[in-house]
């Protein structure tokens, strides 16, 4: 089966600046593919090559087996594109603009404007220039989804959306996959794609440094754990537990333990339960921390031993950024 997106050694220069240094990618039909990297890593450049705004300096990129330049307008009919930064023309209201964009798709998508606007509670009669960041993002999402494209290329799709609308976006994404579409989502935050994406590629400084299952990636990223005990504990009880790294005991009081947890949390929980725990805080680590691991590890890859952790490891992963205080 032809990959929906295939990039081989993709290089893109802006004048003397090399933005992409040989990107290799393969996205298969029907998958939700996350494209993660810090700002400036080359995400938007790659995406703009897919919709033929840019042309490669070297290497090849194909969408549905065609180069974007050769595929032209017919190929773009099959793509729904959400730019990372939306800019709208003056003196139009949201409905007028969306109807114009539908007309550019040969009228396809026009019947779905109202339904999609309702889903995102977007007021179509508002002037574009008066829209808030979140409402602008809604207009961008409606135009990307309205013509039911075979491929959705979405640059930071949920930025500016509140949690309720992020959920609406996820439902819409799932519906699109159910009808056979492929999704390519870029983000600088793992949390933004992890609930919808299957596989994830990580791009850094113009290169794809890793492609992996999103759950494995989350398990590898691990969590930062902070424990406080009622009375001083010994570091030796914790620093050699499986899955526990960088355990540090606050020397001033001897009761605050911080560590990095990768994989199964049970050994740490059992060890902690031998003492009276007064505070238990877990923070999912973000992509930036993963990149720090790339720098730190001698072989430039984070340890994989804990990547195969069971459901317990991913279970805690869904508690993004939450704090749990043990009752006293």
Query: Binding to another protein by residue 78, rule CB under 8 A?
Result: yes
Query: Binding to another protein by residue 103, rule CB under 8 A?
Result: yes
The C-alpha atoms of residue 301 and residue 325 are separated, in whole angstroms, by: 34
Among 36, 101, 131, 290, binds another protein (CB under 8 A): 101
Question: How far is CA 290 from each of CA 191, 230, 278, 301, 309, rounded to the nearest angstrom?
Answer: 13, 32, 29, 9, 17
Residue 30, Ramachandran bin (φ over 0: left; ψ between -120 and 50: alpha; else beta): left
Which residues partner with 249 through β-bridges?
Answer: 257
Query: Binding to another protein by residue 48, rule CB under 8 A?
Result: yes
What 8-state DSSP symbol labels residue 82? Answer: E
Task: Give the shortest CB-85-to-another protein separation in angstroms.
Answer: 6
The C-alpha atoms of residue 325 and residue 322 are separated, in whole angstroms, by: 10
Query: Binding to another protein by residue 83, rule CB under 8 A?
Result: yes
Could you identify the residue written with the tokens 């440094």? 209
CA 183 to chain centre: 12
Nearer to another protein, 14 or 231 (CB): 14
The C-alpha atoms of residue 152 and residue 141 are separated, in whole angstroms, by: 10
The C-alpha atoms of residue 64 and residue 46 are separated, in whole angstroms, by: 16
User: In terms of Cα–Cα distance, which of 280, 284, 277 is closest to 313?
Assistant: 284
Q: Please report the sign of the dihedral spanned by the C-alpha atoms of residue 192, residue 194, residue 195, residue 196.
A: positive
Region of 84-92, 199-207, 251-259, 265-273 interacting with another protein (CB under 8 A): 84-92
Structure tokens at 13: 């220069």
Nearer to another protein, 157 or 222 (CB): 157
Task: Give the shortest CB-166-to-another protein separation in angstroms.
Answer: 22
Query: Binding to another protein by residue 232, rule CB under 8 A?
Result: no
Structure tokens at 40: 């400036």
Among 106, 111, 242, 310, binds another protein (CB under 8 A): 106
Binding mask 130-159 for another protein (x = CB under 8 A): -------------x------x---------
Structure tokens at 298: 């001698």
Query: Binding to another protein by residue 40, rule CB under 8 A?
Result: no
Query: Binding to another protein by residue 81, rule CB under 8 A?
Result: yes
Region of 48-56, 130-138, 187-195, 258-266 interacting with another protein (CB under 8 A): 48-56
Asked if 63 and 50 count as a contact pair (C-beta separation under 8 A), the reply is: yes
Asked if 120 and 82 count as a contact pair (C-beta separation under 8 A), the reply is: no
Nearer to another protein, 100 or 304 (CB): 100
Binding mask 264-283 for another protein (x = CB under 8 A): --------------------
Task: Give the shortest CB-158-to-another protein separation in angstroms.
Answer: 19
Query: Binding to another protein by residue 23, rule CB under 8 A?
Result: no
Query: Binding to another protein by residue 168, rule CB under 8 A?
Result: no
Q: What would the DSSP string read from start to end of 127-165? A: BGGG--HHHHHHHHHHHHHTT--SEEEEESTTTT--HHH
What values do phi and psi take at 273, rounded to 5? Answer: -65, -15
Nearer to another protein, 64 or 145 (CB): 64
Number of residues that bind another protein (CB under 8 A): 36
Among 7, 25, 41, 86, binds another protein (CB under 8 A): 86
Task: Give the shortest CB-295-to-another protein separation in angstroms.
Answer: 30
Among 64, 120, 229, 291, binds another protein (CB under 8 A): 64
Query: Binding to another protein by residue 87, rule CB under 8 A?
Result: yes
Asked if 177 and 149 count as a contact pair (C-beta separation under 8 A), the reply is: no
Residues that bind another protein (CB under 8 A): 14, 48, 51-55, 64, 72-74, 76-79, 81, 83, 85-92, 96, 100-101, 103-108, 143, 150
């Amino acid at each position: 089966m032809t990959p929906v997106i295939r990039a081989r050694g993709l290089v893109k220069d802006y004048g003397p600046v090399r933005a992409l240094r040989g990107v290799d990618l393969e996205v298969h039909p029907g998958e939700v593919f996350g494209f993660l990297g810090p700002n400036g890593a080359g995400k938007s450049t790659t995406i703009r090559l897919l919709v033929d705004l840019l042309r490669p300096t070297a290497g090849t990129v194909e969408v549905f087996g065609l180069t974007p330049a050769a595929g032209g307008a017919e190929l773009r009919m099959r793509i729904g594109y959400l730019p990372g930064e939306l800019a709208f023309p003056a003196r139009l209201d949201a409905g007028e603009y969306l109807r114009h964009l539908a007309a550019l798709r040969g009228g396809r998508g026009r019947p779905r404007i109202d339904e999609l606007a309702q889903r995102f509670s977007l007021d179509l009669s508002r002037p574009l220039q008066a829209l808030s960041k979140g409402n602008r993002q809604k207009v961008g999402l409606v135009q990307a989804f309205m013509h039911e494209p075979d491929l959705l290329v979405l640059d930071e799709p949920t930025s500016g959306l509140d949690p309720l609308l992020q959920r609406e976006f996820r439902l819409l994404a799932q519906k699109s996959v159910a009808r056979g579409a492929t999704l390519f989502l870029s983000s600088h935050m793992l949390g933004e794609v992890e609930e919808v994406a299957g596989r994830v590629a990580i791009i850094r400084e113009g290169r794809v440094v890793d492609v992996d299952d999103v759950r494995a990636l989350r398990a590898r990223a691990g969590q930062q754990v902070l424990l406080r005990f009622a009375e001083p504990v010994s570091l030796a009880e914790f620093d050699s537990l499986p899955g526990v790294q960088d355990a540090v005991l606050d020397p001033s009081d001897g009761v605050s333990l911080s560590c990095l947890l990768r994989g199964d949390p049970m050994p740490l929980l059992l060890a902690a339960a031998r003492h009276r725990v007064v505070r238990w805080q877990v923070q999912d680590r973000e992509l930036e921390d993963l990149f720090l691991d790339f720098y730190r590890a001698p072989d430039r890859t984070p340890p994989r031993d804990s990547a195969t952790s069971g459901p317990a490891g991913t279970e805690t992963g869904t508690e993004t950024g939450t704090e749990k205080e043990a009752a006293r």
